[in-house]
Amino acid sequence: MISYGKTDIGMTRSVNQDSIFFSDKNIGNLPNLYIVADGMGGHQAGDYASAHAVSWFVEYVKNCKYVNPITILKTGIARINDMLLKEAAEHKDLKGMGTTFVAAVITEDKMYVANIGDSRLYISNEEEIKQITLDHSLVEELIRTGQLERRKVRFHPEKNIITRALGTGHEAIPDFFEIVLQKNEKILLCSDGLTNMVEDDEIRDIIMQKDFLDKICDDLITRANYYGGKDNIGVVVIEQALNEV
């Protein structure tokens, strides 16, 4: 696999609370690792939550004795949740902090995904883009219960209210996915600073360009900012290397 990622403060925020990690090489017993986290809280708290969730998780993986990717993702997320709660209890300026967290691991033709919050993972090819993760948000709950049409989500006044996150409760409950990958697909992890600004089909058109991945990341961020850049933007794009089947 080859990957690239980038974050941007956007057009209206004074602090960048998005954090990312991407490695195509082994991290502990994992063959690779990709993460996007979107922090929330006060001026310092959201930045602290996302940055430390990512760095602590990577450190956990480096020293983890488990081999199964889902087990590593599950135990790591639980550990990071406990650490964020402990930090918030000990430091008043961090009280109320939390972060979304979406992580992926790719082994041969399979991808293992964990997510909590409303940062997303997509798989895209020339025909379609498919959201793999399910948002843990108030508007998603309204959609599931038939109280809101999906096409109206972008303009809903409570679209930024999430129902699960790391650091907000004593039990973090992520979703897990196991996906069989196909040839010529690209994978996108991103924060809602992208998806609240840019439609899925437009995201697909950008990430399926034949450009280098750094150019694709730049184009995604540029497009989100063109439409208003109302939040921080975090993106990681992954594709198969040319010598991979």
179 neighbors 185 (Cβ within 8 angstroms): no
Q: CA neighbours within 13 Å on the CB side: how many for 86?
A: 8
**132: helix, coil or strand?**
coil
pLDDT at 153 over 90: no
Per DSSP, helices labelled H in the chain are 45-63, 69-90, 138-144, 192-195, 200-207, 213-226
Triad 186, 190, 193: Cα angle to 5°: 140
pLDDT at 143 over 80: no
pLDDT at 157: 56
> What pTM does this model have?
0.92
- From CA 177, how far away is CA 165, in angstroms rounded? 17
11-20, 140-149, 186-195, range with the lowest pLDDT: 140-149
